[in-house]
Amino acid sequence: MLSPTSTDVIRATLPVVGAAIGEITPLFYGRMFAAHPELLRDTFNRGNQQAGDQPKALASSIARYATMLVDPATPEPAEMLSRIAHKHASLGVREDQYEIVHTHLFAAIVEVLGDAVTPEVAAAWDEVYWHMARDLIAIERGLYAGAGVDPEHVFRDLVVVERVQESPDTVSFVLADVDGAPLPEAQPGQYVSVGVRLSDGARQIRQYSLVRFGGAEWAITVKAVPARTGADGTEIPEGEVSNFLHRNVFEGDMLQVSPPFGDLILDDSENPLVLISAGIGTTPMIGMLHHLRLSGSSRPVTVLHADRSPSRHALRRDLKELVATIDGATLVRWYEDLGTRVPRADLAAGLVDLEAVSVPTDAQVYLCGPLPFMESVHAGLVAKGVAGDAIRYEVFGPDKWLVG
């Protein structure tokens, strides 16, 4: 916990720092990348930086952590810290890099707030930072030890043994050890990081859910992210790694891949299970369904999925076949464009409609898809009586939704 003096200072200055954190974090990243360009080139997601997503996520996490330290009524952000630590471990983040972040974050705070950062204020926020850093470092040490790796040797070379076009913009890659050795065990819902060397020399890393795992092979499914316009009108280029994989990686090629990480892990209770996804958010759900089938689970399972159209629904056949092989599992799909198909009880036009399905109030719910979709579905689930802490989710990118 914070010292009494620092607690009083943080409580008094949190509104000011919180109001300015959105200005502080972009300045921090600019300073850090100017001093350490290798971090932007080889570790951080350049697309998220350009879109502004990563600074927003950092701002939310710092504000929430500081609030927890000074307000006993605020729940401890264990889930947030776990999510961040798993991502860090999948990237090979080192303990010494927290010192780099500290240096440039506090320089940015001083630049934005000026004379308001007295020695007492600086010392209190320094204490907050190192509390959070120590918590993350402790979790990351455990993750590295559990995976049998160290930060310098997170990635290993795997060979692509199969490439499957799942939909017009989605491809699955089946990965194996070059010598056929078994791959590390994974938990249903986890992801791996994939690192590629781009044409400009940058080594960019992205995370992809394991849609199949066990034994000597893993499978990931990658959607080619198109160029788009951000909410503020900023033009955001296409996804660097996803499009590189689509255009350049085929059977026999090698990829650098991390061990499995991620804390969206299927629970082993007997509670009813509800899996809700949209678009490429189906991938962790496919991994969970494979596990349920192989384990012979008998728990009730409801699978809800939304997509643009049947032709653009990646892993559509896998989803249907897996649900059909699991006793007590049901599937309902919604498509914005249903085409010539006739709606029926398990197939509808439009968006996910929770009023059209039964969701047990004691269900464990797993949710993955675009942020607006998840926000809407989350609110609908709570309105139907599902406890908020029974709803787990995965964000493909910086988590700027439920961490604030």
Distance CA 15, CA 59 (A): 13
pLDDT tens track for 91-147? 999 999 999 999 999 999 999 999 999 999 999 999 999 999 999 999 999 999 999
CA distance between the termini of the chain: 21
Q: What does the pLDDT read at residue 64?
A: 86
Q: What does the pLDDT read at residue 404?
A: 37
Query: Which CB contacts under 8 angstroms, 24+ apart, belong to 174-178?
Result: 174/212, 174/217, 174/218, 174/219, 175/217, 175/218, 175/219, 175/220, 175/255, 175/257, 176/216, 176/217, 176/218, 177/216, 178/254
Distance CA 61, CA 81 (A): 9
pLDDT tens track for 52-103? 677 777 877 888 899 999 998 888 888 889 999 999 999 999 999 999 999 9
Catalytic status, residue 140? yes
Question: From start to end of 227-326, where are the E strands?
Answer: 228-229, 235-236, 254-257, 273-278, 301-307
Burial of 391 (0-12, 13-18, 19+ CB in 10 A): buried
pLDDT tens track for 110-123? 999 999 999 999 99
Residue 230 has pLDDT above 80, yes or no: no
Determine which one of 29, 65, 129, 140 is catalytic.
Answer: 140
Catalytic status, residue 95? no
Taking the model in full, what pTM does it have? Answer: 0.93
Determine which one of 29, 98, 144, 366 is catalytic.
Answer: 98
